[in-house]
Amino acid sequence: MSETMMAVCFFLFVMATVGAALLLVRWRTAATIQDGGLQTPQSSGQKGLSASLQESMFVIGELAAGQKPRKDHTRNSLIAAGYRSPAAGTIFYGTKVAVALFCGVVLGWIGLLDHESLSMGFVLSICGMGFGFLLPDRVLDAKVNQRCYQLERALPNALDLMVLGIEAGQSLDSALIETSRELRGLYPELSSEFGQVQVELRAGRSRTEVLYSLGQRTNSMELRKLSTVLIDSDRFGTSLGPALRNHARYLRTRRRHKAQESARKLSVKLVFPVFFLIMPAVFVITLGPAVLTFYEAIGPTLGM
């Protein structure tokens, strides 16, 4: 069989696989909607391409969801990234499968066009599927770290607002509500977390459980320390004002120390760019004319 026929067969196989997957997704989506079981964040009340895409990712995710421990870990990471919808985990798995198929098809087709070899196309397709399946995990980890940084950056100012409210006579719940309202425009991530605390308190959970959950679901060490301070103050009946003021002072001191540490590391990190990128250019400019003059001077003597 010629290479052209092999490429055509591979293309037809990939198209047939993708078409069968799309038909299966459409059939499962229609069946789920008829049963009234699909409720994604965008599907109720919003029509169009975004809702259809989320529905498709939801169905693909239902087919691709693996073992429950891994799913629970992914669910915790999605909550830490700010995605609290019950369908977020399933949509995420569907996204992983869709990205894997897309990367596999694209790289496989590129391998066939460049190398005209079915084996090379197959290898590139497998590599692309593996890369596409792992890529959403890396993006999710980056979003978790970014949101954790935003939460910790907003924490000292939030503690100052809470101290003002508590020392003015407000309770901890009222101070959290006022702080969440004031931070909504500037620090929406922390405002959302404080709002979630109020929702859970109104739902009937104990304050200790809610504050402990605040530290655990955000994956932030500083919020865990804050939840520990609030739990201890609530348990032992100590004054919250001085405790929160001291904690805010500790956070600002720690941030200043981290900035100083980063500044001290900068000189060491600049050694390699200076040595490998700047110094060669400096040597060429400074020593280049001398080398050429020396070559012209002794070249005729050496017969060069």
Residue scoring higher pLDDT (54 or 132): 132
CB 111, CB 125: distance < 8 Å: yes
Residue 217 has pLDDT above 60, yes or no: yes
Residue 24 has pLDDT above 50, yes or no: yes
Residue scoring higher pLDDT (73 or 177): 177
> Residue 143 has which token pair?
């979003």
The pTM assigned to this predicted structure is: 0.68
Fill in the amino acid letter for 236.
F
Choose among 25, 15, 100: nearest CA to 58. Answer: 25
Residue 295 phi, psi dihedral angles, 5° rounding: -65, -40
Residue 249 has pLDDT above 80, yes or no: yes
At 147, the pLDDT band (50, 70, 90 cuts) reads: very high
Quote the pLDDT of residue 143.
92
Could you tell me the end-to-end alpha-carbon distance of the chain, in angstroms, rounded to an integer? 58
Residue 29 has pLDDT above 50, yes or no: no
At 167, the pLDDT band (50, 70, 90 cuts) reads: confident
Per the prediction, the chain carries an average pLDDT of: 78
| Dihedral sign of CA atoms 131, 132, 137, 140 in order | positive
| Dihedral sign of CA atoms 54, 55, 61, 62 in order | positive
Torsional class of 250: left (φ above 0), alpha (ψ -120 to 50), beta (otherwise): alpha
Residue 27 has pLDDT above 60, yes or no: no
Q: How large is the average pLDDT for residues 155-172?
A: 89
Q: How far is CA 32 from CA 35, 62, 216, in A?
A: 5, 11, 33
